[in-house]
Amino acid sequence: MSRPTVFITGAAAGIGRATALFFAAQGYHVGAYDIDEVGLTRLAADIHAADGSVRTGVLDVTNATHWTERLAEFHADQDRLDILVNNAGILRAGPFEDIDLATHQAIVDVNIGGVITGTHAAFGYLRDTSGAQVVNLCSASAIYGQPQLASYGASKSAVKSLTEALDLEWERHDIRVIAVWPMFVATAMVDGMETGSTKSLGVRLTAEDVAKGIWEATRKRGRLPRVHYEIGTQAKVLATVAKYAPNWAVRTANKYFSGS
């Protein structure tokens, strides 16, 4: 019998790497993709050392041709695509006007453009695999717009909306589409980053915490559909507050935590 498979973007480091290691340890054939070839080589060595199964490849998530080629190569290994994890993303923090326009555009291109491009390219493989799933990495910064993270939060809000739409559209194809929502995670992405929110809330999650959260979310296919999975106590509390509190209260809380 073929192994279940998971295709992970941004897999060379951080959350992507931790997720690849976790799923490989559970017996999955892992597709690990990134623009960082050195990081991928190290990841593959670690997975093979633990008797895991992995294919790696260079993937720029904004490049449609890359997606077509990498997905075809990976699918040929086991003739199935059980889970697509859209993890690749970039983050730049600072006052909106101090970040150059090219950087804002890159955040949008990678964080939402890459998800659209890859998920579109993967559709046929997902449709042809019974019980397939798409996991999109969202962020608690999308619960309410965060000062100094304007473009990043906006890109993740778009991921939220895309996830909800595809969850409804693709249910008829037996494809489940979900989003995971961590707060700040201790990875290279936040190294040296200082915003009001990171100072007040801290960086309390590890990449391994998020990898475990992704694993648990993909195990939960209950009778009542669930789309959003907050990871960590802080994200769960903020999501609950945003859901039930009046808008002015949510705005005030965000203003307080961000030091604005």
Q: How do residues 22-75 score in pLDDT, each as one tens digit?
A: 999 999 999 999 999 999 999 999 999 999 999 999 999 999 999 999 999 999
> Which residue's entry shows tokens 């093979």?
48
pLDDT for 238 equals 72
User: What topology does CATH give the domain 5-258?
Assistant: Rossmann fold (3.40.50)
Task: Give the whole-angstrom CA distance, residue 81 versus residue 207.
Answer: 23
What pLDDT sits at residue 9? 98
Two tokens, residue 167 = 């969850």
pLDDT value of residue 203: 56
Beta carbons of 136 and 162 less than 8 angstroms apart: yes
Please count the CA atoms within 13 angstroms of the CA of 99 that sit on its side-chain side. 18
DSSP string, 72-136: HHHHHHHS---EEEE-------S-GGGS-HHHHHHHHIIIIIHHHHHHHHHHHHHHTSTT-EEEE
- Number of Cβ within 10 Å of residue 124's Cβ equals 12
The per-residue pLDDT for range 222-256, each reduced to its tens digit, is 778 889 998 877 767 777 767 767 877 777 776 76
* Whether residue 244 lies in the annotated active site: no
Q: Which of 125, 152, 229, 256 is catalytic?
A: 152
Query: Closest Cα to residue 24, out of 49, 1, 47?
Result: 47
Q: How far apart are CA 96 and CA 15, in angstroms?
A: 26
What's the rounded Cα separation, in Å, for the pair 4 and 2?
Answer: 7
Cβ of 28: how many Cβ atoms within 10 Å?
Answer: 22
- For CA atoms 167, 162, 230, 245, the dihedral sign is negative
The region that residue 254 occupies, defined by phi over 0 for left and psi between -120 and 50 for alpha, beta otherwise, is: alpha
